[in-house]
């Protein structure tokens, strides 16, 4: 059996009477890039800080490489930590910042110089060692913080919202960069973010958290396409959630009678926990609803009529709010020449295999 790099067993964190993290267990495989994703206050940063040793869990056990670390102070855990605000030492040069951890590991002076140069080259800042952090841009500071964390060859790299202080364009560049470096080093990484785009783009595995509990954990495609809970469906991407009745379940398929769209047949892996005769929630991603002018050939899906109420133009795509009876649906479509206008009648098309169903009634 392969030992996980980080293992959390029923950890709980309480602050007074407030429970920040309910009993949570998690295994992070060696070399994986795992993202803790959730809105602020969901317990993701608290969980990261417990792994780091900045907080002690109220209950439960944390193991790194099979060794229980609950009682191990942070400076002996051999972790690389990158903070949202970079936390570079302002009175030290870039090279001294990066060398900081190596000095505490008794590395010889020539080796320190070599490894600092290598780390700075890896983050593409080879010539800035003599500068002070305040002389660097935000993106450069973030790279230095990353270099400082990885140069010590930590067992686990912990990233606490490292990109959220950067501008939008730089953020997208940095996430490609970060993934490249992580891949190159093969370092086990725990990444905390509230940004679903970052989570989907970078992770091998996403752990969606809400109110101190894990809602779902799995590869990005799985979490995105088959959300386990309504929270996950709403938090990742834009989703439409419709009420449905389960007409039949079993024998390799689940048949639903959904509001507006009528009969929809799903494979069982897209309708987990949905039993016959019960109510269900049909989850349809906004980009899976295709809008076309009324009267166009229906293709292989279901087609219903609607009317555009609001257009949210975003350049290459547009987000439409479409009225269907008593319901407003969201649809995100690529724009082909011209977007639809408010008041346009449209045909809304859906392929049943693009849906997922959850147990319970839609609210």
Partner 1 sequence: MATVETREARQPWILLAPALTAVALLLLVPLAFIAVYSFWLRTATGADIAGFHTDNWAEALSDPFYRDILLGTLRIAAITTLVCALAGYPAAYFIARSKANRAILLLLLMLPFWVSYIIRTMSWINILGVSGAFNSALLAMGVIGQPIQMLYNEATVILGLVHFLLPFMVLNVYVSLEGIDETLEQAANSLGATRWQAFREVTLPLSLPGLAAGGLLCFVLAAGTYITPLVLGGPTDAMFANLVFEAIITQLDWPLGSALSLMLLAILGALVALYNHFVGMSQIARGFG
Q: Which of 91, 336, 341, 363 binds partner 1 (CB under 8 A)?
A: 91
Task: Please tell me the count of residues contacting partner 1 according to CB under 8 A.
Answer: 26
CB of 158 to partner 1, least distance (A): 8
Q: 51 vs 348, which CB is nearer to partner 1?
A: 51
CB of 79 to partner 1, least distance (A): 6
Q: Which of 19, 87, 117, 247 binds partner 1 (CB under 8 A)?
A: 87
The rounded distance, in Å, linking the Cα atoms of 226 and 81 is 32
CB of 62 to partner 1, least distance (A): 15
Structure tokens at 324: 């269907």
CB of 118 to partner 1, least distance (A): 17
Q: 36 vs 244, which CB is nearer to partner 1?
A: 36
Q: Which of 39, 89, 127, 275 binds partner 1 (CB under 8 A)?
A: 89
Chain residues 45-74 in contact with partner 1, contact rule CB under 8 A: 52-54, 73-74
Structure tokens at 349: 């098309």
Chain residues 93-152 in contact with partner 1, contact rule CB under 8 A: 100-101, 104-105, 148-149, 152
Q: By CB under 8 A, which span of 75-83, 216-224, 276-284, 286-294 interacts with partner 1?
A: 75-83
Determine the length of the chain: 363
- What are 302's strand-pairing partners? 350
CB of 141 to partner 1, least distance (A): 12
Q: Which residues of 177-207 are buried (b: 16+ CB within 10 A; e: fewer)?
A: bbbebbeeeebbbbbbbbbbebbbebbebbb
Choose among 197, 8, 228, 137: nearest CA to 128.
Answer: 137
Q: 16 vs 315, which CB is nearer to partner 1?
A: 16
Spell out the residues 6+ positions from residue 211 whose beta carbon is closer than 8 angstroms to its own.
Answer: 41, 42, 43
Q: 58 vs 78, which CB is nearer to partner 1?
A: 78
Chain residues 147-176 in contact with partner 1, contact rule CB under 8 A: 148-149, 152
Chain residues 319-348 in contact with partner 1, contact rule CB under 8 A: none
Structure tokens at 19: 């429970």
In order, the DSSP letters of 254-319 are: EEEEETTTEEEEE-GGGSTT--TTSEEEEEEEGGGSEEE-TTS--TTSEEEEEEEEEEEE-SSEEE
Cα dist from 261 to 258, 338, 341, 363, whole Å: 6, 27, 23, 18
Query: Cα torsion for 62, 63, 68, 74, to the nearest 10°?
Result: -70
CB of 284 to partner 1, least distance (A): 42
- What are 81's strand-pairing partners? 158
Q: Which of 8, 37, 79, 206 binds partner 1 (CB under 8 A)?
A: 79
Q: 5 vs 81, which CB is nearer to partner 1?
A: 81
CB of 133 to partner 1, least distance (A): 11
CB of 101 to partner 1, least distance (A): 3
Q: 73 vs 252, which CB is nearer to partner 1?
A: 73
Quickly count helices (H) and strands (E) in the chain: 8, 20
- What are 284's strand-pairing partners? 240
CB of 99 to partner 1, least distance (A): 10
The rounded distance, in Å, linking the Cα atoms of 12 and 141 is 34
Q: By CB under 8 A, which span of 31-39, 88-96, 178-186, 219-227 interacts with partner 1?
A: 88-96
The rounded distance, in Å, linking the Cα atoms of 161 and 202 is 13
Interface residues with partner 1 (CB under 8 A) are 52-54, 73-81, 83, 85, 87-91, 100-101, 104-105, 148-149, 152
């Amino acid at each position: 059996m392969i030992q996980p790099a980080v293992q959390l067993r029923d950890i709980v964190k309480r602050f007074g009477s407030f429970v920040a993290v309910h009993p949570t267990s998690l295994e992070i495989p060696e070399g994986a890039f795992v993202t803790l994703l959730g809105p602020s206050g969901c317990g993701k940063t608290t969980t990261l800080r417990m792994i780091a040793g900045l907080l002690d869990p109220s209950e439960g056990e944390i193991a790194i490489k099979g060794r229980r670390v609950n009682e191990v102070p942070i400076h002996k855990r051999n972790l690389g930590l990158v903070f949202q605000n970079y936390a570079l030492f302002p009175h030290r040069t870039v090279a001294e910042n990066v060398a900081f951890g190596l000095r505490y590991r008794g590395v010889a002076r020539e080796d320190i110089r070599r490894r600092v140069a290598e780390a700075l080259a890896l983050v593409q800042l080879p010539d800035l060692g003599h500068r002070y952090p305040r002389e660097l841009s935000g993106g450069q500071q973030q790279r230095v913080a990353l270099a400082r964390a990885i140069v010590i060859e930590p067992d686990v790299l912990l990233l606490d919202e490292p990109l959220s202080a950067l501008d939008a364009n730089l953020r997208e560049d940095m996430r490609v960069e970060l993934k490249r470096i992580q891949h190159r080093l093969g370092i086990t990484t725990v990444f905390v973010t509230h940004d679903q785009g970052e989570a989907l783009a970078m992770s091998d595995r996403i752990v969606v958290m809400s109110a101190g509990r894990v809602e779902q954990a799995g590869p990005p495609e799985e979490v995105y396409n088959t959300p386990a809970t309504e929270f996950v469906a709403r938090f990742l991407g834009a989703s439409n959630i419709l009420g449905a009745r389960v007409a039949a379940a079993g024998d390799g398929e689940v048949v639903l009678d959904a509001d507006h769209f009528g009969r929809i047949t799903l494979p069982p892996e897209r309708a987990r926990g949905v039993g016959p005769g019960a109510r269900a929630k049909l989850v349809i991603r906004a980009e899976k609803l295709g809008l076309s002018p009324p009267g166009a050939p229906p293709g292989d899906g279901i087609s219903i009529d609607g009317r555009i109420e609001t257009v949210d133009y975003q350049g290459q795509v547009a987000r439409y709010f479409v009225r269907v009876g008593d319901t407003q649906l969201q649809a995100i479509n690529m724009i082909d020449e011209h977007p639809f206008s408010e008041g346009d009648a449209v045909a809304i098309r859906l392929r049943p295999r693009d849906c997922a169903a959850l147990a319970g009634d839609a609210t």
